[in-house]
Amino acid sequence: MPELPEVETVRRGLAGVMAGHRIDRLELRRHDLRFPFPPDFRQRLQGARVERIDRRAKYLLGLTDRGDVLIMHLGMSGRFTIVPPEGQARKPGTFYHAAAAGAGEGPHDHVIFAMDDGTRIVYADPRRFGIMDLAVEEELAAHRLLKDIGMEPLDDAFDAAYLGARFAGRQAPLKAALLDQRIIAGLGNIYVCEALFRAGLSPERKAGSLSPQGLERLVGSIKAVLQDAIAAGGSSLRDYAQANGELGYFQHTFEVYDREGQPCRRGGCGGTVERVVQSGRSTFYCRTCQR
């Protein structure tokens, strides 16, 4: 499932072609994805102007001039493809899917946004675990999908004091605590493994056992890993691609994730990357230098 860097990369791609434009036509080729579309989904969006595209955790949020918010989640295999207007050259600084010519014709192309400048945004989802829903902007924070989500890890307010307060007394493994979306929004398996490696912390230690210095290292590592991954366009392992069709490149710089049995890349460590299973998920780390 795409994590925060992948969703943020998609957000930036969609913002470049949707923000400031009106949805001339909305085509729904089925009645549902993971959940049914709201009964008035097309009526509320068709003709609306998209003011901006935001992100909350792993959700994309399209705010319209009608006061509605389009809530979108990519699920396991969801992908947006940007198709430029027919016969029109790509705009400077705007990127389009390399295979845009065939977008909208596939069996898994379920939703098409036709914008007022002729651009089409095609949403494909073979597994149909994605979500599209609507909320009124004033009630967005209380929406069932968003109301229990924790702090954004790239916010300035996400610091050692916040994390220490949320981890105080917790006996859960550090890895599990970091994946708790009620504490930190958008973190997933890949970037938790990478952040813990950078911080030199074991995923198996108790969350409540971190010293103030450990908390500082961890917060700094989380922010740095996410920023590096966003700059690289995210990580492409299975279904993920950017809205322009390009793959992410952060997977080429993984320190521990998916590197079981390989030498630790920390200078002078001499350890080996191990894989353990925690709460049904693979965790990769170096037992020698992560404590």
Q: How far apart are the first and last CA of the chain?
A: 28
Which one of the listed residues 3, 8, 194, 255 is annotated catalytic? 3
Which one of the listed residues 58, 175, 198, 217 is annotated catalytic? 58
3 in active site:
yes
Which one of the listed residues 12, 91, 281, 287 is annotated catalytic? 281
From the list 28, 239, 102, 210, the residue with the least C-alpha distance to 195 is 210
Count CB neighbours of 268 within 10 A: 6
Report the amino acid identity of residue 36: P
58 in active site:
yes
Place of tokens 């074991």: 202
The beta-strand segments (E) located in 104-160 are 109-115, 120-124, 131-136
DSSP 8-state code for residue 127: S
From the list 54, 104, 60, the residue with the least C-alpha distance to 84 is 104
Give CA–CA dist 115/127, Å, rounded.
Answer: 26
Which one of the listed residues 2, 5, 84, 203 is annotated catalytic? 2
Give CA–CA dist 134/116, Å, rounded.
Answer: 21
Contact 161, 222 (CB under 8 A): no
Structure tokens at 131: 């979500």
- Stated as kind and residue range, the H or E segment containing 212 is helix 212-231
281 in active site:
yes
265 in active site:
no
Q: List, by residue number, the catalytic residues.
A: 2-3, 58, 281
